[in-house]
Amino acid sequence: MPTREVTIASAVGLHARPAALFVQAVEASGAEVTITKGDRTVDADSILAVMTLGAGHGDVVTLEAADESVLDSLAALLATDLDAS
């Protein structure tokens, strides 16, 4: 299955608002997506699971999904500071 590595750009990492925006994008895609940090992989459509990864600013995560265009858009989202006004 295709993967994308992406560096988390949000200053607070994948917590609260950035995690919610990411999960909403995953749900809107309709694709089954996983996100991995280190040796831990979770379903990307669960805000609690995503937040428990503890992915902070500058951490590298791996996204996996069957649809490469979904991966591209989700990777671009995570590479953006989602806390910026």
Query: What are 12-56's pLDDT values in tens digits?
Result: 999 999 999 999 999 999 999 999 999 999 999 999 999 999 999
Q: State the average pLDDT over residues 53-72.
A: 97
Q: What is the CATH T-level fold of the domain 3-78, as seen in this structure? A: Histidine-containing Protein; Chain: A; (3.30.1340)
Supply the pLDDT for residue 56: 97
Task: State the distance between the two ends of the chain, measured CA to CA, in whole angstroms.
Answer: 35
**Catalytic pick from 15, 16, 41, 79?**
15
Supply the pLDDT for residue 26: 98
Q: Any catalytic annotation for residue 57?
A: no
pTM, rounded to two decimals: 0.94
| Class of residue 12 by CB neighbours under 10 A (exposed 0-12, middle 13-18, buried 19+) | middle
Residue 61 clears pLDDT 60, i.e. is over it: yes
